[in-house]
Every structure is written in structure tokens, then in C-alpha cells.
Amino acid sequence: MSRAFPVIFEDSRDLIERLEREGERVAERMETCRKAMLIARAMILVGAALFLVDLLGFVRLAPTLALLGLGGAIAGIVIYGAHHSTRVEADEQLRKIETERARLIDGLEFRGASLH
């Protein structure tokens, strides 16, 4: 057996392990974005509800509270948009990592023990 095969095999294994670790980091970032987007949705809902309840006259709130609701809704929209775009980018990055990992694994030639 030549020395080139074990070196290439080890290099590929190391690269696969690095890709797996990077994939885990990207997946964690996606989960953080998902949670932030959920909080942002709640901010939009609560903020818009506060503002609309006051605007439509169902309940008279202090003007500060109505404006706070409007500001919360706007902030929620901004937070949602920022994390959504980050999540889309991370999803694309994760797909590239998984594709590269699969390509490396497919390229490995495993030599098993012969049963004969």
C-alpha cells in the first residue's frame, strides 16, 4: 500500500470533520435566527394591537403607550427582516457545506477486509 492513500484519507477525514463542525455552527445560527424571528412576530402582534386598539377607540390608552405599541411593531418588523435574511444566507451556506461534505465522503475509497 502506498503512503499517498492514508495521507489523502486522513486529510479528507479531517476536512469532513471540520465541515461537520462548521455545519453545526451554522445550524445553531439558524436556530438563533428562528427564535429572534418568533420574538419579532410577537412584538409586531402586540405592538400593532396596542396601537390599533387605541386608534380605533376600543380602549383609550395613554398616547405614550399607543406610540410605544407602534414603535414596537416597527422594531419587530426590522428585527424580523434582519434575522430572516441572515437565516436565508445561513441556510444557503449549510446546503453548500452539506454538498461539499457529501462529495468528500463519496470520494473516499473504503477498503474493507476480505472474507476469503
- pLDDT per residue as tens digits for the range 83-109: 999 999 999 999 999 999 998 888 776
Query: Is the pLDDT assigned to residue 112 strictly greater than 70?
Result: no
User: Please, are residues 69 and 50 in contact by the beta-carbon 8 Å criterion?
Assistant: yes
Can you give the pTM of this predicted structure? 0.74
Convert the pLDDT of each residue in 40-67 to its tens digit.
999 999 999 999 998 888 888 888 888 9
Query: Is the pLDDT assigned to residue 32 strictly greater than 70?
Result: yes
Overall average pLDDT of the 4-30 stretch: 82
Task: Please tell me the predicted confidence (pLDDT) of residue 115.
Answer: 53
Task: Please tell me the predicted confidence (pLDDT) of residue 49.
Answer: 94
Q: What share of the chain is helix, strand, coil (3-state, %, to 5)?
A: 85, 0, 15
Q: What's the burial of 33, exposed, middle or buried (CB within 10 Å: 0-12/13-18/19+)?
A: buried
Mean pLDDT across the chain, nearest whole number?
87
Task: Please tell me the predicted confidence (pLDDT) of residue 107.
Answer: 78
Q: How many C-alpha atoms does 27 have within 13 Å on its Cβ side?
A: 9
Task: Please tell me the predicted confidence (pLDDT) of residue 10.
Answer: 63
